[in-house]
Structure 1
Amino acid sequence: MGLAADRGPAYKATRNLEATMTDQIRITAQPDTNPNRFQFLVDRDVWSEHILFVDRANAEKGSPLALKLFDLSGVVRVEFHGRQVLVTQDGNADWTILAKEVGGVVREHIGAGETVVVEGFEPDLTDEEKLRIKVQVVVDKEINPGIAMHGGFVTILDVQGQKVFIKMGGGCQGCGSADVTLKQGVERMIRDNVPEVEAVLDSTDHASGLNPYYQPGAAPM
């Protein structure tokens, strides 16, 4: 079996996208610590202001590019930050196909000089959505890079009031030290950075974890 096959769908998605690049706009795709999320690095600024999280409802109001991306099967969230376009899918799409589609949409849209985000646009967000964005930044920049060395990742499932519901995946699902990771790592880091969060609740089905970093009952003391 060849090396590309050994590296799995994420590697194939990256190679397939690179193969479709033009001299005009170069886009590099790479997997995120969250397997449902992919990062697309464009060779020029896409959105030069603060990180912008866009859902479908807000895309209709202020981001023509995000709206096109939501037309792709499986896309549930789009983020713009500098030269990055970050796309989250629902877990049912094949990245080897979706990554190429995303790259094509981004390249065509930017290449045509079309508007990425309408000037002055600010998403119409509820207090819970604003809180979720703050927590998401902590998860993306602080938490997931740290637990990725154990093959794990954290996904935010929901925010209700000031309570954050998360799911652990990869090596963290079913791990014997998951409770320690939650209380001493994830929850502490979130509440230190976003003090308005009252509680972080784990909604993971740890019993179905297929590849825990530490087997239950074997967590280090």
Structure 2
Amino acid sequence: MFIQTESTPNPATLKFLPGQTVLEAGTADFPSSEAAGKSPLAQRVFAVQGVTGVFFGTDFVTVTKAEEVEWDHIKPAILGAIMEHYQSGAAVMEGGATKPAHAEHTGEDGEIVEQIKELLDTRVRPAVAQDGGDITFHGFDRGVVYLHMQGACAGCPSSTLTLKMGIENLLKHYIPEVVEVRPVAV
């Protein structure tokens, strides 16, 4: 098994590509070792000292490290943990499905919210997945779109620029009702 790695715009995060399916659909975010209870793979990665976050996409695992830890010191152990997991034959996730990508929205803005979600799914999320992260809809209130950033996007130094110059401009262009985009912590 050969696992490729790619850097991301976030220097604290690396993207690991095991060459196999990680998740059949959706994403899974583990912002702490306590959150990894349903994933044997995430538990193995968190067992590496210095790992502070794990995120799964369809074909990648994004790992975030503590600021004081160097990649040169933990990258071999993370590669080993991922390889051991796939060789063990264990499931990536226990108990089935991951949660839906976007938050539900009820109210009179339903049509606008569906347009926002459609643009996120077709234009934003595929590009962000290339960088080892995900951005999902969290809410819409009085022209403000609230988005949840995961994986490499969470804590990325360029995330504010991505939100304001990229996503906000895109949404405002196609949906005049959008006046601002803000990140939320979930």
Q: Give TM-score scaled by structure 1 length.
A: 0.50
Residue 92 (structure 1) aligned to one of 68, 72, 79: 68
Aligned-partner Cα distance in 1 for 2:59–2:16? 8
Q: Which runs of 5+ in 1 are unaligned?
A: 1-24, 128-133, 146-155, 203-221
| Alignment-derived partner of residue 107 in structure 1 | 83
How far apart, in 1, do the equivalents of 2:176 and 2:155 lie? 20
**Residue in 2 that maps onto 1:169:** 157
Do structure 1's residue 58 and structure 2's residue 46 form an aligned pair? Answer: no
- Tell me the matched-pair count: 155
Q: Does 2:175 align with 1:187? A: no
SS of the residue aligned with 1:98?
helix
Asked whether the 8 Å contact 1:40–1:84 carries over to 2, the reply is yes
Aligned CA-pair RMSD: 4.6
CA, structure 1 residues 92+139, in 2 after alignment: closer, same or farther (shift >3 Å)? farther
2:47 maps to amino acid: D
Report the CA distance between 1:117 and its aligned residue.
Answer: 0.8
Q: Which letter maps to 2:36? A: A
**Secondary structure of 2:157's aligned partner:** strand
1:83 lines up with 2:59 in the alignment: yes
Shift of 1:34: 1.6
- With CA pairs under 8 Å and 6+ residues apart, which has the higher RCO, 1 or 2? 2
User: Which of 96, 121, 127 is the aligned partner of 1:141?
Assistant: 127
The 1-side partners of 2:75 and 2:173 are apart by 35
Q: 2:43 aligns with which of 60, 67, 92?
A: 67
Letter in 2 for 1:141: A
Give 1:43's match in structure 2, choosing from 4, 15, 19.
19
Hey, which of these two has a bigger chunk of helix by percent? Answer: 1
Shift of 1:73: 2.6
Query: d(CA) in 2 for partners of 1:89 and 1:194?
Result: 37
1:168 deviation in Å?
6.8
List runs of 5+ in structure 2 lacking aligned partners. Answer: 104-116, 149-153
Structure label with greater radius of gyration: 1
* Cα 1:184/1:84, change in 2 over 3 Å: closer
State the TM-score, normalized to the length of structure 2.
0.58
Mark the CA change 1:193 to 1:82 in structure 2 (over 3 Å): closer, same or farther.
Answer: farther
